[in-house]
Chain A
């Protein structure tokens, strides 16, 4: 699993590639939290187009980052979620809290 973060139109995009499970989510969580705390972007879009697997660990990853972004005065969104990933996220009602496209 790999996280690439870039600036885009005043916000940030974090492209995650590979598999998100309990093991790999820790790395993503650590990298994203460090970026959010140090940079405090207005928006952070998690680009999930390169994710090849995700279990419910991804729900915790998204919800946790959404909470941190709000605490820092920003907003999180999810981009390029494949139908399979949307299905997992919808089990937790993530779409009611985070914009998912």
Chain B
């Protein structure tokens, strides 16, 4: 991974930090001069990943969420959201559209679908009782495209 610049920060899994995570990511990638749509896509994907950690990984408790953002060569954005919460027993099932374990909170079960649609690549690694790592990549259009 050829990293040009990176930022990493940790926040408690409080729902109010969902917007803070978006703000930090926006501030960091603005140096790449993304289009409004690219910025919107990345902010949305980050919001989904962080919300999953808040709602599912640390349900009823508060733990840390680590957010890493890297600018790679050729204008590729790399994002990693890591929690050390309950983990996902069946990742394949969890990634099915409309699957949710929190219907009482009106979770639509589309978080991973949004991440997948709005980013170029999505990878989810999880182990029950150990936590989850979501990595996403998106290549920004070259200037002048």
Contacts of A19 in B (CB 8 A): 19
Q: Which of B43, B106, B111 has the most CB of A within 10 A?
A: B106
User: CB within 8 Å of A: which of B20-77?
Assistant: 22, 37, 40, 43-44, 47-48, 51, 54-55
Partner of B110, one of A23, A24, A56: A56
Q: How many residues of A contact B (CB 8 A)?
A: 21
Known contacts A22-B51, A91-B117; decide if A56 and B108 are in contact (CB<8 Å).
yes
Partner of B108, one of A21, A23, A24, A59: A59
Contacts of A91 in B (CB 8 A): 110, 113-114, 117
Contacts of A60 in B (CB 8 A): 105-108
CB <8 Å contact, B51 and A57: yes
CB <8 Å contact, A84 and B110: no
Q: Does A88 lie at the interface of the complex (its beta carbon under 8 Å from any beta carbon of B)?
A: yes
Known contacts A21-B47, A55-B48, A84-B37; decide if A92 and B55 are in contact (CB<8 Å).
no
Size bracket, chain B contacts: 20 to 34
Contacts of A24 in B (CB 8 A): 19
Q: Does A25 lie at the interface of the complex (its beta carbon under 8 Å from any beta carbon of B)?
A: yes
Contacts of B113 in A (CB 8 A): 56, 91
CA distance A55 to B48 in the complex (A): 7
Contacts of A61 in B (CB 8 A): 106
Q: Does A100 lie at the interface of the complex (its beta carbon under 8 Å from any beta carbon of B)?
A: no
CA distance A57 to B47 in the complex (A): 10
B88 to chain A, nearest CB (A): 17
B15 to chain A, nearest CB (A): 4
Q: Identify the B interface with A (CB < 8 A).
A: 15-16, 18-19, 22, 37, 40, 43-44, 47-48, 51, 54-55, 98, 105-108, 110-111, 113-114, 117
